[in-house]
Structure 1
């Protein structure tokens, strides 16, 4: 008699992953792993793999071409995306992305390999990531009891330490920087800046145009799979920084922040809320927001060679390589202007608000909305400005139609009369 080999599904996270009740995990997608290289053929960046303190925590290091053999570089500790369940620093997409970012930013990047769920449920990924940042910071201590890496020791500038990540990695980066506000890093090393790209934040309450049905979709299912024991479930502060018991965002232990979002991404409304909450929290730092029109989740990782991805990566690189944010005096957001591919909002919280002009789904209009920092104080004011331009455009189009119609009538009358 044939045995029944049908397996019962515990979590169906198609098209990414399926978990069965017998403990089997089937990963359905992901890019292939690639080896490190002493010199990338496109960027010239060198990469290598290392073990961080223990075999469970690893990293791939990326070192750009040096002008001087003793050159000091900004240090970026980066956490990859993948919903805590797929991908690694070794997969093609993230390896390629790190090569490009290291070359553009002229930064030493430590891309952390944390253990994945559901084989290793959260908070293991958070703890692995914390171990990695502690190891990096320990290089600033002369007699640290660790095996130091020569690239980090020789080229790392610990006065320019950055933390960053995409998607689930951005979630990790946010929680790491909050934690450093409570638990100082070895040598009292400070984090200068944080960048979050398409951050994976969720919750039980709708944000923006979300419906209650949206809240039980893929993002919810992933969290319940990777952290089933989380207190508060989907409103645990690790996934919902706006929950009632979440630590105040003013405790973010860095002085610079860059948030990068994509208009079509389901996580963008919470990314916007994150920026707005930061502005109201009393956090004393500089903030920059980039919202990319017409793109979806992690588009710059999946295709870093598109024009919009190139622009965004250059923006990230500039954030890392420059010692301070240059406040933008004027920003254009338009679909007709092909040269301006994404909206940026740059502000210093010490200098007041830059205005709420970051709401997504830009309307179809042919004129550029030019916004001075501090000009538009509310979403209502922004929407009124958009409607005004739309009316002006509609009037112009109607006048053009009437003019064309009359010209046609005159031509027909002239030739018809003959």
Structure 2
């Protein structure tokens, strides 16, 4: 049985969302932070969101305030049960360590659905047949690779219904036009981007490795067609935006259902600082999870230009 440590927000007398930390493995110190709405109607089942935070594979944790607040918001907005994964960071733990941690969190959720080791009472409210992987920045990269790895597993009764990628952190040896245009970006300047990838990738692997550049080839390419529906969000003021456009185009070519939003302007991590951008993202994700695709595009992406 996993051990839990409840958290209370002293600034909110009556919180709308409750959270607790769960230790999955004392030896590896693997943990997740679990969120649930404070009030759930009897016998109500909520979607299960498995969340991977941002931080360029090197920074932050599930307990970082901006990501903790983000999970509070989406647990309330959907509403949903949220599992925020505390994955290992580079350079001490280079990729694919974070992918393994994300994968193990999903397998833990499956064990919970089967009652193996005892089920956390909060997960009694989860509809495991409506499980979604959600990631921001580096977390979106992790979510993508975890989704591909999960194609090798029989997860029943868990069913991965969709993948949500917000401003995904991908790269490549050849610069995209958005990277060239925003080389001195205040949030993701190109030289910092280069250093972060040098810390995250396996030693001696370059930035066309599939962990960094998902459309460059590699072992995953033939498996992409097995992915569930995908939501992709990007901003044209983010130097990483072309990477998301290229991936969305590739997924569409593999007949994966892709829903997307690419906003004019903006910047990397805008939803963590701008309440209007955050609300738009929450609305999109809520519609995607609930199968209502208002104001989301699913047509061909060929009119979006992303070039090297």
TM-score in terms of structure 1 length: 0.65
1:312 aligns with 2:281: yes
**Match of 1:234, SS?**
coil
Residue 131 of structure 1: CA displacement? 1.0
Cα distance in 1, alignment partners of residues 192 and 9 from structure 2: 39
Q: Name the SS for the 1:126 alignment partner.
A: helix
Aligned match of 1:217: 191
The alpha-carbon distance between structure 1 residues 47 and 39, as it changes in their structure 2 partners (threshold 3 A), is: farther
Q: Specify every segment of 5 or more residues in structure 2 that has no aligned partner in the other structure, as ranges.
A: 1-5, 184-188
> Relative to 1, partners in 2 of residues 1:252 and 1:156: Cα closer, same or farther, differing over 3 Å?
farther
Taking structure 1 as reference, are residues 180 and 198 closer, same or farther at Cα in structure 2, changes over 3 Å only? same
Which residue, 51, 54, 57 being the options, matches 1:81? 54
Alignment of 1:305-344 (within 5 A): 306-320=275-289, 322=290, 324-326=291-293, 344=296
Alpha-carbon contact 1:47-1:61 (below 8 Å) kept:
yes
Counterpart of 1:387 in structure 2 is none
Q: Which residue of 2 aligns with 1:106?
A: 79
In 1, Cα distance between equivalents of 2:303 and 2:113:
41
From 129, 145, 163, the counterpart of 1:159: 129
Does the 8 Å CA contact 2:236/2:264 hold for their aligned counterparts? Answer: yes
Shift of 1:111: 0.4
Cα distance between partner residues in 1 of 2:56 and 2:68: 17
- CA deviations on 1:5-59 (whole Å, 9 max, x unpaired) are xxxxxxxxxxxxxxxxxxxxxxxxxxxxxx8327983861111111123452111
Q: CA deviation at 1:201?
A: 0.5
Contact 1:73 1:106 in 2 (8 A): yes
The 3-state SS of whatever aligns with 1:235 is coil
Quick one: structure 1 residues 209 and 100, their matched pair in 2 at CA, closer, same or farther if it must change by over 3 Å?
closer
Is 1:169 matched with 2:146? Answer: no
Q: 1:40 touches 1:99 (CA, 8 Å); kept in 2?
A: no
**What is the aligned partner in structure 2 of residue 123 from structure 1?**
96
Q: Which has the larger radius of gyration?
A: 1
Q: CA deviation at 1:107?
A: 0.4
In structure 2, what is the equivalent of residue 148 of structure 1?
119
Helix, strand or coil at the partner of 1:177: helix
Q: Output one character per residue of 1:316-372: Cα deviation in whole Å (capped at 9) or x when no partner.
A: 12222x1x24365xxxxxxxxxxxxxxx42x2xxxxx44534459xxxxxxxxxxxx
Name which structure has the greater RCO, CA cutoff 8 Å, separation 6+.
Answer: 2
The answer as to whether partners of 1:192 and 1:254 remain within 8 angstroms in 2 is no
State how 1:3-402 maps to structure 2 within 5 Å: 36-37=7-8, 41=12, 44-54=16-26, 55-142=28-115, 144=116, 146-152=117-123, 154-181=124-151, 183-187=152-156, 189-211=158-180, 217-229=191-203, 232-248=205-221, 251=224, 253-283=226-256, 286-301=257-272, 303=273, 306-320=275-289, 322=290, 324-326=291-293, 344-345=296-297, 347=298, 353-354=299-300, 356-359=302-305
Distance 2:223 2:103 in 1: 20
The secondary structure found in structure 2 opposite 1:140 is helix
In 2 relative to 1, CA 67–36 (structure 1 residues): closer, same or farther, beyond 3 Å? closer
Task: Find the aligned partners of 1:93 and 1:355 in 2 and give their Cα distance.
Answer: 31
Asked if the contact 1:220/1:234 (under 8 Å) is kept, the reply is: no
State the aligned residue count. Answer: 295
Q: Which moved more, 1:160-169 or 1:252-261?
A: 252-261
What stretches of structure 1 of length at least 5 have no aligned partner? 1-34, 329-343, 348-352, 361-378, 380-418
* Conserved? CA contact 1:180–1:253, under 8 Å: no
Q: CA RMSD in A?
A: 2.7
1:308 Cα deviation after fit: 2.3
Deviations 1:225-246 (A, max 9, x none): 122426x421110111011325
